[in-house]
Structure 1
Amino acid sequence: MSGMTDDTILTGYARIQSYLKTLDGSPGVYRMLDASNRVLYVGKARNLRARVSNYARPSGHSGRIDRMIRETSSMMFLTTRTETEALLLEQNLIKQLKPRYNVLLRDDKSFPNILVAKDHDFPQIRKHRGRKTDKGNYYGPFASAGAVNRTLNQLQKVFLLRNCSDTMFEGRTRPCLLFQIKRCSAPCVGEISAEDYRSLVSDAERFLSGRSTKVQADLALQMAEAAEAMEFERAAALRDRIRALTHVQSSQGINPRGVTEADVIALHLEGGQACVQVFFIRGNQNWGNRDFFPRTGSGAEAGEVLEAFIGQFYSDREPPRQLLLSHPIDNEDLMLEALAQKAGRKVDISVPLRGEKAELVAGAARNARESLARRLSETLTQAKLLKGLAEAFDLDAPPQRIEVYDNSHIQGTNAVGAMIVAGPDGFMKNSYRKFNIRGDGLTPGDDFGMMKEVLTRRFHRLLKEDADRSAGTWPDLLLIDGGAGQVSAVRGIMEDLGVGDVPMIGVAKGVDRDAGKEEFHRTGQRPMALRHNDPVLYFIQRLRDEAHRFAIGTHRAKRAKAVGATPLDDVPGVGASRKRALLAHFGSAKAVSRADLADLKAVDGISDALAQLIYDFFHGS
């Protein structure tokens, strides 16, 4: 890697020109930095010298590129073996560094799949998100958890597959309610044979693979055979399944006949803002859509926005066999090579102009346009609210980042702290944070002590990672749930940390703890209230309610995990399956802790070495 030169006077075009004599024609990645060493832009190049020489020319640039060049104080370079490597490295660095002038995909959550688990004689069907480590077949991605839940509900009606856990399955002695309402075939109590259940699983997988008409034809044939054999109850059950399948097929929306597996990606640009709409087509079925609002790097063109979106979107997920785009991208050949390398097979990219594929893209583009219009309207409303908030509380400017804190516990147990973040684009959920209260020396239920721990941990980390407050992660305003005492205590904490200049407002419930009668507390000022119908008051209530919702949800998750916890969770090498085997063999964790070495070795799946480790763990060796 080559880096910054000793010459610190040159900036802009002259500074970029000074690097040309040290560069060759290698492919690689370059970074442009400002005077504070903040990364302005990350780019890739087939030929670093040729690309940098383009920036060294003082004319022929767009306004965005011209501004970026003028702010450039230094550059850094990293050579790669191929341009494809440079593309992959570029996208990783953009996601990590979030440069101001790059197109940045801000919402990068994983998408859910449906898993047909194959680690049991009677496979379970369930929603799955994250790494595909469980044994079984995966179908997806789906656009949202709601789309998965609707599909699972439909599959239960048609194919009667179980969705209960293995532990619940093993413990059943009679059918559950799902069997009574014809949503499960009750394999847990022998209401269906293993062979017949495998047939149901096979039909469900054919349906998920897009072969639903074949499934329907087979069901119709079975119904006719049952009726002919005068097995009218079985024929009626098959008739109900055919009706449910017909309802599924009619309610799935646009199901393209000529597109088996593709992501339809359409872009709409307006007013410096962008919306990318993605439709997921799998097995000739539309499995939902999701819209994204990437940061456009201060005015990038459509080809650059789509290329950056595709590179970042598929950096940690497998691409489909085909991408249908609304606009051509700048480096299609390079992107094809990178996607093929990622998928381990050929990936096709096209911009269809006619036929069914063009209609799919047009539909996605229409959704992108409508979503962006809604987004722009919401952003305008949000901007008015932030301006009103600044005016109501005498802030220097409308806050761009508001952090709201809350605690949740039951008599001090399973205590958690929560932080939610809001800004010009609404709630910034990828910035939410939860804090497990460690509580060293805390009295159970000490809200002041909990808040002190949360804020101390939060701002210690900020001071360590962004001491000069240049990365946009520092709050412009803190909202604290509490009155004058809470505000005074928090202000003392902040001053001890050396960050007492961050504005803060305490939100107290007010008279009779009624919503709408809140009192607002600030250091050194008298309490104040807002008009009952003031939009700023409703805005603050929404912020507080969101923090409360997030804190309670985090607390409940922690409590639920604690309920199912056993001493076996702390034994190294004992995962979920071995834990189940031990509990099934001994009946309880306490019995496991008291078992002798020979009994531990007798458990299926527990090796002699692991048995020795478990024995030593509980006997202090």
Structure 2
Amino acid sequence: MGHARVQGYLHTLDSSPGVYRMLDSEARVLYVGKARNLRKRVSNYANPNGHTGRILRMISETAEMMFLTTRTETEALLLEQNLIKQLKPKYNVLLRDDKSFANILVSKEHSFPPVRKHRGRKSTKGNYYGPFASAGAVNRTLNQLQKVFLLRDCSDTTFESRTRPCLQYQIKRCSAPCVGLISKEDYAKMVGDAERFLQGKSTNVQSTLADEMARASEALEFERAAALRDRIKALTQVQQSQGINPRSVAEADIVSLHLEDGQACVQVFFVRANQNWGNRDFYPRVGADISPAEVLEAFLGQFYDNKVPPKQVLLSHDIENRDLMAEALSQKANRKVEVLVPQRGEKHELVVNASRNARESLARKMSETAAQSKLLAGIAEAFELPAPPKRIEVYDNSHISGTHAVGGMIVAGPEGFIKNQYRKFNIKGDEVTPGDDFGMMKEVLTRRFKRLLKEDPDRSSGTWPDLLLIDGGAGQVSAVREIMNEYGVGDIPMVGVAKGVDRDHGKEEFHRTGKRPMALRHNDPVLYFIQRMRDEAHRFAIGTHRAKRAKAFGATPLDAIPGVGAARKRALLAHFGSSKAVSRAGLADLKAVDGISDALAETLYDYFHEKG
């Protein structure tokens, strides 16, 4: 292990670019890196001098290395970031929050296209505008579009079924194309105006509306002129509210970093079409002796792994391989992408503003983390744990008389609630009696521990809990302990949280195996923290249950038939009026429906007649 082990690989390497992995004695990946020259990079690690403490620790733990050569250094950079995201090595900078961002979609699959919020893969035909930093930023923009351009946001099914205008028309947020109150040509013109607005051409839109208003007045069409006046007024208000928008930056991401006491905050501002579309802060995992250049380079590679980069990326700190990063991002975007570190002008001001936000966000985060650490230490003291827990899992069930039963698991740790670790469980065990809370909890914990034992039997990944909190008293604790002992994980501390006397908030009793029930002081911050965790688990379980119930409410027997998707289901219901009428239809009638082939008609007919 260590320098000597690394030295042993030198004779097998040449000067090719590529990616290397450093592994410990149990074959766990410690670090993933890229190199323009693999032999030269590995020879640096073989030299025991000139390394930071973090790198020296990494080398000392290295028992094996793996190598993969690439044609270019750009390919090596892209592969490195893919492997880091997949393997999450101990000594790499890791971007922990990597959710997709919302976009606005102007669909092109309908003659009266809606304008909607869209997340995920861009599989729907249409034009996408974004990314927006948050759902709130998207909703504000959609609200503006509805006020100014009167575009629909209803589903296609709702659109097809309307016989009179809805409330959106009454409050002047829609032009009611569903009932023919606007022609296809006029609606298309408004969609075009909305897209120009999203492209930053709102001034042109405003002058066009003003010309139309003047012509309507001259033609004595005063009602239409008044409507156009209201739209111009709404557009002016939008422009006034966007006073913080940059003048000289049309499309860019502003990426600023602040490092302090071994913690980092990266603030990203999104500018599209000369409009500020919000910001998001990130807290990558870093070491105490890491440089800003290394953090930013790792962040950029991982951040743009699943996102299309803008024309410009403005940085607060320079990175070692700026030209290489620009080349990699250009390759991903299929157009030129500039990576800049501005020193003056409006771009520099934008970066300074983002840096100030990063510094303030990190200060708030560190304050919250310190308070959270005190609470976790309090929990360890209250429940006699060997150390403050780093991962608390809280479980709850939700159902109505046993129907649509679900279990929810939330996770909390030193940084608060870890929402990307939340899990939901659809209760599906045949042996569980409807309404049996004990049976439901046993099924949830059985599935949870089965999966943990399969995926991480040696408990090395950090996904094993240090403490379980379950909603319930002695009976629930006994049922869960039975499961834990069965799977050999009885060493994990577990506490049942019961409502206590009169089921009052603040009079909770805590149950542990082999110990008398206990309570905490009424004003103890640890008690408030446990209540917050239990309430969050309850909220998550109820939300999951409601979503399942709502989905079942809209379900029909057609959902279970292979080959019947949303479009064909819509066609069948429109033709026959109900799923019951579809089930009674003859084969010839089914074949007469648009979009239903002869083979599918026979499948439908056989399905309902076999079941009947």
Scaled by the length of structure 1, the TM-score of the pair is 0.96
- Among 205, 210, 226, which residue is 1:220 paired with? 210
Following superposition of structure 1 onto structure 2, how do residues 227-376 of structure 1 map, counting pairs within 5 Å?
227-376=217-366
Match of 2:99 in 1: 109
> CA–CA distance in 2 between the matches of 1:335 and 1:575?
43
Could you tell me how far 1:619 is from its partner in structure 2? 4.3
Structure 2 residue matching 1:279: 3-state secondary structure:
strand
Structure 1 residue matching 2:453: 3-state secondary structure:
helix
Could you tell me how far 1:602 is from its partner in structure 2? 2.3
Would the aligned equivalents of 2:15 and 2:37 in 1 still touch at CA under 8 Å? yes
Would the aligned equivalents of 2:101 and 2:134 in 1 still touch at CA under 8 Å? yes
Would the aligned equivalents of 1:275 and 1:294 in 2 still touch at CA under 8 Å? yes
Match of 1:515 in 2: 505
Match of 1:529 in 2: 519
> CA–CA distance in 2 between the matches of 1:440 and 1:30?
49
Distance 1:417-1:81 versus aligned 2 partners, 3 A rule: same
Match of 2:564 in 1: 574
> CA–CA distance in 2 between the matches of 1:131 and 1:213?
32
| 1:573-605 Cα distance to aligned partner (Å, 9 max, x none) | 222112111211122223323333333332222
Match of 1:587 in 2: 577
Distance 1:329-1:615 versus aligned 2 partners, 3 A rule: farther
1:383 to 2:384 alignment: no
Could you tell me how far 1:187 is from its partner in structure 2? 1.2
Match of 1:86 in 2: 76
Paired letter, 1:315 = D
> CA–CA distance in 1 between the matches of 2:461 and 2:243?
43
1:397 to 2:409 alignment: no
Match of 1:482 in 2: 472
Distance 1:299-1:589 versus aligned 2 partners, 3 A rule: farther
1:559 to 2:541 alignment: no
> CA–CA distance in 2 between the matches of 1:360 and 1:238?
35
| 1:87-122 Cα distance to aligned partner (Å, 9 max, x none) | 222111111111111010000111111111122221
1:123 to 2:84 alignment: no
Would the aligned equivalents of 2:106 and 2:113 in 1 still touch at CA under 8 Å? yes
1:187 to 2:177 alignment: yes
Match of 2:418 in 1: 428
> CA–CA distance in 1 between the matches of 2:329 and 2:596?
42
> CA–CA distance in 2 between the matches of 1:596 and 1:50?
76
> CA–CA distance in 2 between the matches of 1:547 and 1:103?
31
Structure 2: tracts of 5 or more residues without a match? none
> CA–CA distance in 2 between the matches of 1:134 and 1:608?
28
> CA–CA distance in 1 between the matches of 2:367 and 2:243?
28
> Which moved further from structure 2: 551-560 or 188-197?
188-197
> CA–CA distance in 1 between the matches of 2:183 and 2:597?
33
Structure 2 residue matching 1:140: 3-state secondary structure:
strand
Would the aligned equivalents of 2:52 and 2:289 in 1 still touch at CA under 8 Å? no
Match of 1:6 in 2: none
Would the aligned equivalents of 1:161 and 1:183 in 2 still touch at CA under 8 Å? yes
Paired letter, 2:343 = L
Match of 1:65 in 2: 55
Paired letter, 1:557 = A
> CA–CA distance in 2 between the matches of 1:195 and 1:185?
13
> Which moved further from structure 2: 44-53 or 141-150?
44-53
Could you tell me how far 1:620 is from its partner in structure 2? 4.5
Structure 2 residue matching 1:605: 3-state secondary structure:
coil
Structure 2 residue matching 1:314: 3-state secondary structure:
helix
Could you tell me how far 1:79 is from its partner in structure 2? 2.2
Match of 1:500 in 2: 490
Could you tell me how far 1:502 is from its partner in structure 2? 0.3
> CA–CA distance in 2 between the matches of 1:608 and 1:351?
63
| 1:126-168 Cα distance to aligned partner (Å, 9 max, x none) | 1111111112211111111111111111111111111111111
Match of 1:543 in 2: 533
Would the aligned equivalents of 1:28 and 1:45 in 2 still touch at CA under 8 Å? yes
Paired letter, 1:330 = E
Could you tell me how far 1:363 is from its partner in structure 2? 1.1
> CA–CA distance in 1 between the matches of 2:112 and 2:330?
36
> CA–CA distance in 1 between the matches of 2:131 and 2:585?
45
- Among 108, 127, 147, which residue is 2:137 paired with? 147
> CA–CA distance in 2 between the matches of 1:487 and 1:547?
17
> Which moved further from structure 2: 43-52 or 442-451?
43-52
> CA–CA distance in 2 between the matches of 1:50 and 1:272?
29
Moved over 6 A (4+): none
1:457 to 2:454 alignment: no
Q: How many residue pairs were aligned?
A: 611
| 1:44-79 Cα distance to aligned partner (Å, 9 max, x none) | 112211111110000001111111111212222222
> Which moved further from structure 2: 153-162 or 572-581?
572-581
Match of 1:3 in 2: none
Structure 2 residue matching 1:500: 3-state secondary structure:
coil
Match of 1:22 in 2: 12
Would the aligned equivalents of 1:100 and 1:297 in 2 still touch at CA under 8 Å? no
> CA–CA distance in 1 between the matches of 2:153 and 2:184?
16
Could you tell me how far 1:232 is from its partner in structure 2? 2.1
Structure 2 residue matching 1:598: 3-state secondary structure:
helix
Structure 1 residue matching 2:594: 3-state secondary structure:
coil
Paired letter, 1:188 = C
> CA–CA distance in 2 between the matches of 1:612 and 1:82?
56
> CA–CA distance in 2 between the matches of 1:299 and 1:469?
28
> Which moved further from structure 2: 158-167 or 296-305?
296-305
Paired letter, 2:601 = A
Would the aligned equivalents of 1:101 and 1:298 in 2 still touch at CA under 8 Å? no
Structure 1 residue matching 2:526: 3-state secondary structure:
helix
Match of 1:12 in 2: 2
Could you tell me how far 1:237 is from its partner in structure 2? 1.4
Could you tell me how far 1:249 is from its partner in structure 2? 1.1
RMSD between aligned residues? 1.4
> CA–CA distance in 2 between the matches of 1:582 and 1:259?
50
Match of 2:125 in 1: 135
Could you tell me how far 1:298 is from its partner in structure 2? 4.6
> CA–CA distance in 2 between the matches of 1:298 and 1:18?
29
1:49 to 2:77 alignment: no
Distance 1:44-1:537 versus aligned 2 partners, 3 A rule: same
| 1:481-517 Cα distance to aligned partner (Å, 9 max, x none) | 0011111111111001110000011100011111111
> Which moved further from structure 2: 605-614 or 118-127?
605-614
**Identity level (%):** 79
> CA–CA distance in 1 between the matches of 2:242 and 2:170?
27
Following superposition of structure 1 onto structure 2, how do residues 438-449 of structure 1 map, counting pairs within 5 Å?
438-449=428-439
Could you tell me how far 1:297 is from its partner in structure 2? 4.1
Structure 1: tracts of 5 or more residues without a match? 1-10
Could you tell me how far 1:231 is from its partner in structure 2? 2.2
- Among 198, 203, 210, which residue is 2:188 paired with? 198
Paired letter, 1:136 = G
Distance 1:59-1:526 versus aligned 2 partners, 3 A rule: same
Structure 2 residue matching 1:227: 3-state secondary structure:
helix
| 1:308-334 Cα distance to aligned partner (Å, 9 max, x none) | 111111111111111111111221222
> CA–CA distance in 2 between the matches of 1:612 and 1:320?
50
> CA–CA distance in 2 between the matches of 1:157 and 1:545?
38
> CA–CA distance in 2 between the matches of 1:204 and 1:564?
33
